[in-house]
A and B are shown apart, each in its own frame.
Chain A
Amino acid sequence: MYLCVIAFPLLNYLIINLFGRFLGTYICAILSAVSVFLTFLFALFIFYEVAICNSICEVHLASWFSGELLSTNWAFNFDTLTAVMLVVVSSISSFVHFYSIEYMNSDPHQTRFLSYLSLFTFFMLILVTGDNFVLMFLGWEGIGLASFLLISFWFTRIQAGKSAIKAMLVNRVGDLGLIIGMCGVFLTFKSLDYAVVFSLSPCAINTTFSFLCFELDRLTVITLFLFIGVLGKSAQLGLHVWLPDAMEGPTPVSALIHAATLVTAGVFLLIRCSYLFELAPTTLCVVTIVGALTAFFASTVGLVQNDLKRVIAYSTCSQLGYMVFICGLSNYSIGLFHLANHAFFKALLFLSAGSIIHGLADEQDLRKMGGLIGSFPITSVKILIGSVALTGIPFFTGFYSKDVILEIAFSTYNKFGLFAYTLGCLAAGCTSFYSWRLFYLTFINSPNSYKTYQEGAHEPSLIMLIPLFFLAVCSITVGFLTKEMFSGLGTPFFQSAIFVFYKSTNLDSEFLSPFVKNIPLFVTIFGMTLSYFLIHCATTDKEMIFNLKTSALGRQIYIFLSKKWHFDQIFNELIVHKVMTFGYRIPFQNIDKGNIEMFGAFGISRHVNAMTKDFTSLHSGFLFHYLFAILFFMLTAIFLLFSFLTTTSGLLKYLLLAFCYFLLLPNKNLLFA
């Protein structure tokens, strides 16, 4: 029963992938939508039983592999954290499956697409339900693989292929960190099971690794390496470069992978390992700083993006920063709360963006839209709901998690909390600005696209609107409905699934002065107003915005932001290009084609050839040369023989032998000068 949530997407994937072409596109689409919807129903049931009725369940399926101390099982653990993730993943996934029936129906490879979506869902579910680090890693790599397949779904496009490779490789950097972290976990705790590791984690306080003559704190090192994995998967600053490029896939893929599931895997790992992270204060500081910087960075870059999907991608990156820094401030439950809420409104935004792209002749550029509110009345409302939830307007979903995050950051008594709070507030302002910018540029401002496009613009059919409707309902209600579960005072919701912070700061954040509590709202409204004046009103007064953009300072800021803080450029020039040049010059040119060939088979054969040529050139055809050679070698041989026989010293004998060898080396010039 519990395993159905994992089995259904897998079976769905296998059936569609193996027999898809016998079944036909239509049946495949129905089959996948139904099976993933059933998964969602099972997940809801599990959520009810596990999270609400407080009955944690563990399913031990089989043994996988075991060594001396290491034993790994196919065991699945259903606790509150898993249940929440299950509901999030399976609901978003089923909406996306349903949405893809219509969105991809003119694509020749729709069955392949649906099978990949199911594969992705399967691996994501493995990741969240796994009972040990190994199963988690299986899911972790599996979603990496599925994201590769999905991003490069239109494999004939070179940009899609390149983006997929980039996503895979940048993720691999993080995965390396995760593997090293797992090795550290096993080295310290002699087990990879969550239960063992987390219950033993206090024993590892103040123990050290000896590494290159440094005595490093074990938990700090382990968690830092695990955090590198989080960096890669959750697109935090440093390894974020793959996320915006991964928009090359179809829009439902972006909704599923880059909004709701793949990128949340990193945050999930952070929350899952809360018992480890909690005992490593140094790592928590790093987590806070990186998360806050990511939130700020991504939101500022989002301000000037001109691609509809890229704006949403950067806002995802920014929201992930919020989740990470609140985990760094020890409030993992709030991080999970924001994760769940964010999944709904971000999927809504992406899927709405998909309907605009679908209805507007596959146009993604914001500058070529405008005035679409008449053509897309329903979608515009959906985007409005998504934006409002994203920016944290009161009583929408985003408000309940985002404001709590900022309040807690403010009331944490250290400089990191204040740092995160400042950047978080700035990011909230930017988020508000670009959300409204997107809305104005798409729907309100005067039209900029071709007349034929505008005339052909149409709302999608009901199949695409139904998921949007449900997601919109979720975006409005989920935050309020689950608020008390996740962030209520002294809530027993999480039991022992994650570390829950019982200190006074939660109370402090609850009783902050109303002015401080309202700061994020003020900032949001400020961003909204700014957007109104700069983006909307500027259409009537183009001079002003033009002068603002082309002034010396404005231009520099604009370039800095639109070049994504030059991160891609720096990475390409300082790392990627250098590594590739090194790979070509040193291992390829100097080692493979150089030394190994010189001293290997090729060099030896060439040397032998040269020697043979020298030997044969001794035969000049002249009689007197032959006679001279005969005499010379005869005399030398006699001389050497006598010397060899009469010498008693062993060393001298070897020297004579060596002399013989050099004498016999072909040297025409020596003989016939």
Chain B
Amino acid sequence: MNLVFFLFFPLTLFFIGFAGLALNRKNLLTIIMSIELILLSINFNFLIFSAFLDDRLGQIITLLVLTIAAAETSIGLAILIVYYRIKGSINVEFISSLKG
């Protein structure tokens, strides 16, 4: 059982999450879910390395990330609701008023 074998799963998860971010052109909610997915994949990574290196720090960071993810999701959902109140839609394609 080598490290690469275990790292493959979180990497796939990361890219799925990223694909959800990059390819999604409709729903703002999907973006928050994709971010959650990315954070989870990173948590996986930390845990795997923590086990592999036999070090406690990774698990601590994972706990920290979990709390941050929760906070971030709540804030994100709050912004989403505020945005929906103003715009009446959560379509990503229409969020483009800040152009270069």
Contact = CB atoms under 8 A, between A and B. Distances in A.
Contacts of A631: 18, 22
Interface in B63-100: 92-93, 95-100
A627 B22 contact: yes
A642 interface: no
A624 B23 contact: yes
Given A627-B21, A628-B22, A631-B22, A621 B92 contact: no
Contacts, number: 35
Given A620-B99, A623-B31, A627-B22, 16 more contacts: A619-B98, A619-B99, A619-B100, A620-B96, A620-B100, A621-B97, A621-B98, A622-B93, A622-B95, A622-B96, A623-B92, A624-B24, A627-B18, A627-B21, A628-B22, A631-B18
B25 interface: yes
7 contacts: A616-B100, A621-B96, A621-B98, A621-B99, A622-B93, A623-B92, A624-B92
Contacts of B99: 619-621
A618 interface: yes
Top 10 A-B pairs, shortest CB-CB distance: A619-B100, A621-B96, A616-B100, A621-B99, A627-B22, A628-B22, A627-B21, A622-B96, A621-B98, A624-B22
Contacts of B24: 624
Nearest to A626: B22
Interface string A605-628: 000000000011111111110011
A632 to B, nearest CB: 10
Contacts of B100: 615-621
A628 B23 CA distance: 9
B37 to A, nearest CB: 14
Interface of A: 615-624, 627-628, 631
B66 to A, nearest CB: 23
B30 to A, nearest CB: 11
Nearest to B92: A623
A97 to B, nearest CB: 80
A69 to B, nearest CB: 70
Q: Tell me whether chain A's interface is mostly helix, strand or loop, or mixed.
A: helix
Contacts of A619: 98-100
A628 B96 CA distance: 15
Nearest to B95: A623
A216 to B, nearest CB: 70
Nearest to A632: B22
Interface in B1-39: 18, 21-25, 31
A615, A616, A617, A622 pick with most chain B CB within 10 angstroms: A622
A269 to B, nearest CB: 74
A622 B99 CA distance: 8
Contact of B21 (A616, A620, A624): A624
Contacts of A628: 22
Contacts of B98: 619, 621
A611 B56 CA distance: 50
A628 B25 CA distance: 12
B86 to A, nearest CB: 17
Contacts of A615: 100
Residue among A615, A620, A627 with the highest chain B CB neighbour number at 10 A: A627
Contacts of B31: 623
Contacts of B97: 621
B76 to A, nearest CB: 13
Nearest to B25: A624
B28 to A, nearest CB: 9
Contacts of A623: 31, 92, 95
B20 to A, nearest CB: 10
Nearest to A615: B100
A617 B96 CA distance: 13
**Residue from the set B22, B31, B98 with the largest chain A CB neighbour count within 10 Å:** B22
A497 B100 CA distance: 87
Nearest to A630: B22
Contacts of A620: 96, 99-100
A624 B96 CA distance: 10
A623 B90 CA distance: 13
Contacts of B18: 627, 631
A619 to B, nearest CB: 2
A618 B100 CA distance: 7
A631 B14 CA distance: 12
A628 B97 CA distance: 18
Nearest to A621: B96
A615 to B, nearest CB: 8
Contacts of A624: 21-25, 92
B10 to A, nearest CB: 17
A616 B99 CA distance: 8
Nearest to B97: A621
Contacts of A618: 100
Contacts of A621: 95-100
B57 to A, nearest CB: 24
Greatest chain B CB density within 10 A among A618, A619, A623 is at A623
A618 B24 CA distance: 19
Contacts of A622: 92-93, 95-96
Nearest to B99: A621
A625 to B, nearest CB: 9
A621 B95 CA distance: 7
Nearest to B100: A619
A631 B25 CA distance: 17
Contacts of B96: 620-622
A622 B92 CA distance: 8
A631 B21 CA distance: 11
Nearest to B24: A624
Contacts of A627: 18, 21-22
A182 to B, nearest CB: 67
Nearest to B96: A621
A92 B23 CA distance: 100
A254 to B, nearest CB: 74
A667 to B, nearest CB: 15
A621 B94 CA distance: 9
Interface in B26-58: 31
Contacts of B21: 624, 627
A501 to B, nearest CB: 91
A617 B100 CA distance: 6
A619 B100 CA distance: 4
A622 B22 CA distance: 10
A250 to B, nearest CB: 72
Q: Determine which residue in A615, A616, A624 has the highest number of CB atoms from chain B within 10 A of its CB, and name it.
A: A624
A620 B94 CA distance: 12
Contacts of A616: 100
A553 to B, nearest CB: 83
A526 to B, nearest CB: 95
Contacts of B95: 621-623
